[in-house]
Amino acid sequence: MITLKEALSLDKGEIKELRKDLLKKIEEKKELGAYVEQLNGNELSISGEGIPIAIKDNIQVKNWNVTCASNILQGYVAPYDAGVIENLKSAGLSPFGRTNMDEFAMGSSTETSYYGKTKNPFNPNCVPGGSSGGSAAAVGGGVAIVALGSDTGGSIRQPAAFCGCVGMKPTYGRVSRYGLSAFSSSLDQIGPFAQNVEDAALLYDIISGYDKRDSTSANIEYKPVAPNLNSDRKFTIAVIENYLEEASDEVRKKLEESIEALKKAGHKIIYKKRLNTKYDVATYYIIATAEASANLSRYDGVRYGNRAQANNLKELYAKTRGEGFGDEVKRRILLGTFVLSSGYYDAYYIKAQKARHLIKDEFEEIFKEADLIYAPVTPKTAFEFGSIKDPLEMYLEDIYTIAVNLAGLPGISVPVGFDDKGLPIGAQFIAKAFDEQTLFDGALALEKILK
């Protein structure tokens, strides 16, 4: 597959051929289930004529059906472009197909999608990760040059690790959330999937920057990362010791090998411990579900998508949501409504916000001694479909990623090898807020060392 860097130098005729070639590849690998909809190559009025890029099904693209992989949004047509889509079009890129996802981005396996499952490109019996599983499988499976996803608790980095590609979550506020269907407003961030670190940096530069339409967008100076990439910089890298101890033998082994490679290349490695990851999980699933409960209340059968047949307003709300939302979304709405309810708000929600501050402070303490933090992305490699039935066990798949969202920091997943079954293993770098240059430089250094 051509890289984004190569594609950016193509002329119009070459881009047209590229789009045709990509459509052919997508058709050949239809069973992957990466896309919920591919646009016909002739529909240029909808899909444009730019470099084709896969878009997660929760990012608004004008005149597209955007459904968050949910039954409740079937029939909804986006009336406007998200901020990131405007940026793509300005840079000569063009949305080209909606990628599958967990319903409303709630999941770690892309098994909760209304459209059915997406398969892992390395093993069709295994999950691609989630919630951006379609975007990761599209890039990892060679049916997308690059893709956009969203990361609320690891939804870019975890599927990137499972599918053997690069996935990056920007600092909270660095990329506009205008036009991203909200799951958890204080955690959600749009970010890139790519075949390599340089392509991820190029796409990150294109989508980043201040947007006055997003009240959480950071109005600070933006310096492009890609033109200044430097894999020769030497860093002090903090390895999270207890993350390694909790990981599977195969994940730990590959991480330890990559740590030795970083040492040999001249980077200083220090070891740090973090709070028990159970605190991260508890904090995240209180804050994220509380915000989801508030955000998803807008889907009532009156304004968007599907509407159930009902005799009165109360029945309309109940039937529309009952028929429209899947089990996992209902579970999280119930959890969120509970922690926000009278008598439980202080005990759960307020306590979780205090814990969030402790997590943020803990990272700041580590960054006093280190330029980057290095850790596994997932405790194990991609698991088989249906093998995790307990929701809590599924939530624990995110133990290494969610703290980064809670602290609002940037993180990037880079492939570091394979397990005995040939499934990819990913490692993540975490950097200080708004220090994406260091993040990408560290990731590029690792990529070059391992290659």
Question: Is 176 labeled as catalytic in the residue annotation?
Answer: no
Question: Which amino acid does the sequence have at 323?
Answer: E
Q: How far apart are CA 407 and CA 172, in angstroms?
A: 9
Convert the pLDDT of each residue in 331-380 to its tens digit. 999 999 999 998 899 999 999 999 999 999 999 999 999 999 999 999 99
Average pLDDT over residues 122-138: 98
Catalytic residue among 47, 131, 135, 217: 131
155 flagged as catalytic: yes
Question: Has residue 45 got a pLDDT over 70?
Answer: no
User: What is the secondary structure of 141-180 as a DSSP string?
Assistant: TTS-SSEEEEESSSTTHHHHHHHTSEEEEPPTTTB--TTB
Q: What is the pLDDT of residues 212-237, one digit of tens each?
A: 999 999 999 999 999 999 999 999 99
CATH pick for 4-218 out of 3.90.1150.10, 3.30.1240.10, 3.90.1300.10, 3.30.420.140: 3.90.1300.10
30 catalytic? Reply is no
Q: What is the pLDDT of residue 39?
A: 54
pTM listed for this prediction: 0.96
Q: Is the dihedral of CA 201, 205, 206, 208 positive or negative?
A: positive
From 132, 135, 155, 184, the catalytic residue: 155
Is 133's pLDDT higher than 60?
yes
CB atoms within 10 A of CB 14: 13
State the pLDDT at residue 38. Answer: 63
Catalytic: which of 29, 56, 169, 432? 56
Least confident of 135-149, 253-267, 302-316, 395-409: 302-316
Q: Write down the mean pLDDT value for the chain.
A: 94
Phi-psi domain of 110 (left: phi exceeds 0; alpha: psi -120 through 50; beta: other): left
As separate numbers, helices (DSSP H) first and strands (DSSP E) second, the chain gives: 16, 11
> For residue 218, what are its two tokens?
């950071």
Instruction: Spell out the domain ranges in the chain.
Output: 4-218
CB atoms within 10 A of CB 278: 10
Asked whether the predicted pLDDT for residue 37 surpasses 80, the reply is: no
